[in-house]
């Protein structure tokens, strides 16, 4: 017999009406609490997209935004959750008692991909007291490896070569990041070659991973290295042939071949474009322009960035096109989900070269890829998107105006500046799209003394942004190792603290029938969008549902009790991972209470599936929303 439960008071939850994909744009002002609260989703995501702008610190983002025009925010500006991420690596001794505040891409991706720190130049491998010694691979399981263990599809998209640290760090474990081919490994990582019983060179490990989708540059390198395994069928074969024979890859080298792929059902895809280390860039750059020069020339404001007009003629897809295609292929007929890493790798390359225009162009291209991921997430709210950087870079935004002095120098005329007032290192002054002046300075290497043209990383925290299930976990200041539970689908949903507030329904007590105990949902009242009627009492809404229900019983209908302070129209939704799996509409009578059943079908996991019941009531020109949590079990 069902219990007769008196529902005279129910909690109103702290959930806003805004959806999980709500954008919180830069500089819009206004009250954002509801939009941010509505974006909170503690459930475990089905898909994870990790987007890394290599060397994309705050300065690089700010420069790209300023160049594009402050009235045109970046797509990444719309992510609702933001934080700061520390990125230090371990010191050279490997003891763990010292650290290096300036990481390289290898140690940085290791921390994100495995949740463990390591030293410079190591890929997903533990430290050693001798930096040249082989560390321990035990415990350094990467997020991409873990996703494959969970039966999810995996993808790795980059604008640089696959053996570059960021894409390689998800798939290879190596003591030195430049042991690319078997021949490189024989020279610098001899104990880790397959011939010596190790996992093999970086490229061999990438091929052996059988990642579902690889998209990047450095095409020629697969013909530069050969397999060194005497007595085996692969000995003497090129890496390209090894990829085809050992892992069944479809090896693609043109844009049309890649964009023409219809499905991953016919085998994994290894799409690699451009030429390695030639005058043809591995991946064409979005912009053209002059690199930074010494102060006298770099202070002049006559430089403008030009779009690379030859890009469409080259057989290389842009990063946003690669991202869109990757999402299509990874999600097609896929019930288990996927893990996808996307890297804007050339941002770092051009910052190293003090090439302001090219750095900005690559950042804007990466932002377009972010836009593709956000468009996908809006349609698939069970997807977590994280956008961040692996480390900071050298470029700084400098004042483009003359220094404030009793007798100010002539603006834009470096000859009128004293030596003390000229910026150090190399500079480049640009005209932005809205006509403003933007000056970038690079001063991390003494070019005049050493002849070096390579700027260096800097020791700063980096920005991190996210949207989707569990995205709120990146807020505040976190370390790059804290990403690992999010990237590996391992973080369990949290519960709101018990701050229950009772809402008493006016009028006579109303009795409704609900199987099981009455459940009140913790939280505090949060108003949804309203059209207030002058003099009308505030609408209050509550919802109750069983704490648990068998999946089989869901087919007969989930019992939901609705209470409201006024009669009106009610929409009831049952959501799983942010996606609505069942819905219905009803009317709450003038007595302000209603019991309904909502039928749903799902296959819960062995330990249960978290559901959220969402009720929206409109009455008297006002709208309020309340939710309740339900666990469906086998």
Q: Taking a C-beta distance cutoff of 8 angstroms, is the pair 602, 554 a contact?
A: yes
Strands (E), 242-336: 250-252, 269-273, 287-288, 293-294, 306-307
pLDDT at 257: 94
Q: What's the rounded Cα separation, in Å, for the pair 166 and 110?
A: 9
Q: What's the rounded Cα separation, in Å, for the pair 100 and 106?
A: 13
Q: Taking a C-beta distance cutoff of 8 angstroms, is the pair 545, 11 a contact?
A: no
pLDDT at 443: 81
pLDDT at 300: 58
pLDDT at 460: 92
pLDDT at 604: 65
pLDDT at 305: 87
Q: What's the rounded Cα separation, in Å, for the pair 196 and 394?
A: 40
Q: What's the rounded Cα separation, in Å, for the pair 547 and 632?
A: 9
3-state secondary structure at position 241: helix
pLDDT at 294: 58
Q: Which residues are catalytic?
A: 105
Cβ burial 19-43 (10 Å sphere, 16+ → b, else e):
ebbbbbeeeeeeeeebbbbbbbbbb
Which domains does the chain carry? Answer: 49-487 (3.40.720.10), 495-633 (2.60.40.1940)
Q: Taking a C-beta distance cutoff of 8 angstroms, is the pair 203, 181 a contact?
A: yes
Angle, CA of 418, 422 and 424, to the nearest 5°: 140
pLDDT at 515: 39
Q: Measured between alpha carbons, how far is residue 233 from residues 43, 204, 230, 240, 247 in Å?
A: 47, 15, 8, 14, 14
Residues near 32 by beta carbon (within 8 Å), at least 6 away in sequence: 24
pLDDT at 373: 97
Residues in the chain, pLDDT under 70: 1-30, 34-35, 38, 94-96, 275-282, 292-302, 312-313, 402-422, 446-453, 494-537, 590-594, 603-608
pTM value is 0.76
| 591 HSE (CA, 13 A, CB side) | 10
Q: Which residues pair with 478 in a beta bridge?
A: 85
The residue written with tokens 């939009």 in the block is 35
Q: Summarize pLDDT for 95-112 with one digit per residue, the tens.
A: 667 899 999 999 999 999
pLDDT at 312: 67
Q: Taking a C-beta distance cutoff of 8 angstroms, is the pair 115, 109 a contact?
A: no
């Amino acid at each position: 017999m069902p219990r007769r439960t008196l529902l005279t008071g129910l909690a109103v939850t702290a959930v806003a009406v805004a959806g999980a994909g709500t954008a919180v744009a830069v500089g819009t002002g206004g009250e954002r609490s509801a939009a941010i609260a509505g974006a909170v989703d503690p459930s475990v995501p089905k898909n994870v997209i990790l987007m890394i702008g290599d060397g994309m610190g705050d300065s690089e983002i700010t420069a790209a935004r300023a160049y594009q025009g402050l009235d045109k925010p970046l797509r990444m500006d719309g992510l609702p959750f933001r934080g700061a991420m520390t990125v230090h690596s371990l010191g050279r001794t490997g003891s763990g008692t010292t650290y290096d505040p300036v990481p390289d891409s290898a140690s940085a991706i290791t921390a994100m991909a495995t949740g463990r720190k390591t030293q410079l130049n190591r890929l997903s491998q533990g430290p050693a007291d001798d930096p040249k010694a082989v560390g321990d691979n035990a415990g350094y399981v990467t997020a991409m490896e873990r996703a494959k263990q969970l039966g999810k599809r995996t993808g790795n998209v980059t604008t640089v070569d696959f053996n570059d640290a960021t894409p390689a760090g998800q798939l290879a474990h190596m003591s030195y990041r430049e042991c690319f081919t078997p021949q490189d490994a024989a020279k610098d990582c001899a104990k880790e070659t397959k011939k010596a019983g190790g996992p093999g060179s970086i490229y061999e490990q990438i091929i052996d991973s059988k990642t579902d989708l690889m998209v990047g540059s450095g095409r020629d390198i697969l013909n530069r290295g050969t397999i060194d395994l005497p007595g085996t069928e692969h000995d003497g074969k090129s890496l390209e042939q090894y990829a085809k024979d050992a892992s069944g890859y479809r090896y693609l080298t043109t844009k049309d071949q890649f964009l023409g792929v219809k499905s991953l059902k016919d085998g994994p895809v290894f799409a690699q474009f451009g030429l390695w280390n030639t005058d043809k860039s591995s991946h064409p750059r979005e912009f053209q322009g002059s690199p930074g020069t010494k102060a006298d020339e770099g202070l002049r404001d006559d430089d403008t960035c030009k779009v690379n007009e030859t890009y469409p003629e080259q057989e290389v897809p842009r990063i946003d096109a690669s991202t869109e295609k990757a999402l299509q292929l990874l999600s097609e007929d896929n019930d288990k989900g996927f893990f996808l890493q996307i890297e804007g790798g050339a941002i770092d390359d051009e910052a190293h070269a003090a090439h302001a225009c090219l750095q900005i162009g690559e950042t804007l291209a990466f932002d377009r890829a972010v836009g593709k991921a956000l468009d996908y997430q809006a349609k698939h709210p069970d997807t977590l998107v994280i956008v961040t950087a692996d480390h900071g870079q050298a470029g700084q935004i400098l004042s483009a105006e003359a220094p404030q002095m009793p007798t100010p120098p002539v603006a834009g005329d470096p000859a009128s500046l004293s030596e003390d007032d000229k910026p150090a290192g190399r500079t480049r002054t640009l005209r932005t799209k809205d006509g403003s002046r933007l000056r970038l300075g690079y001063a991390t290497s003494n070019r005049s003394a050493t002849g070096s043209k390579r700027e260096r990383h800097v020791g700063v925290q980096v920005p991190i942004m996210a949207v989707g299930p569990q995205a709120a976990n990146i807020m505040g200041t976190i370390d790059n190792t804290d990403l690992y539970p999010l990237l590996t689908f391992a973080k369990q949903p949290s519960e709101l603290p018990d701050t229950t507030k009772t809402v008493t329904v006016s009028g006579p007590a109303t009795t409704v029938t609900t199987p099981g105990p009455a459940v009140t949902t913790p939280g505090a009242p949060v108003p949804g969008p309203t059209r207030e009627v002058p003099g009308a009492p505030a609408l209050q809404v509550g919802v109750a549902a069983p704490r648990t229900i068998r999946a089989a019983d869901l087919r007969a209908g989930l019992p939901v009790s609705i209470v409201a302070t006024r009669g009106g129209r009610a929409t009831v939704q049952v959501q799983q991972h942010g996606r609505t799996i069942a819905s219905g509409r009803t009317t709450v009578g003038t007595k302000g209470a209603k019991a309904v059943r909502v039928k749903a079908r799902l296959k819960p996991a062995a330990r249960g599936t978290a559901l959220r019941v969402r009720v929206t009531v409109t009455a008297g020109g006002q709208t309020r929303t309340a939710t309740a949590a339900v666990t469906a079990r086998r």
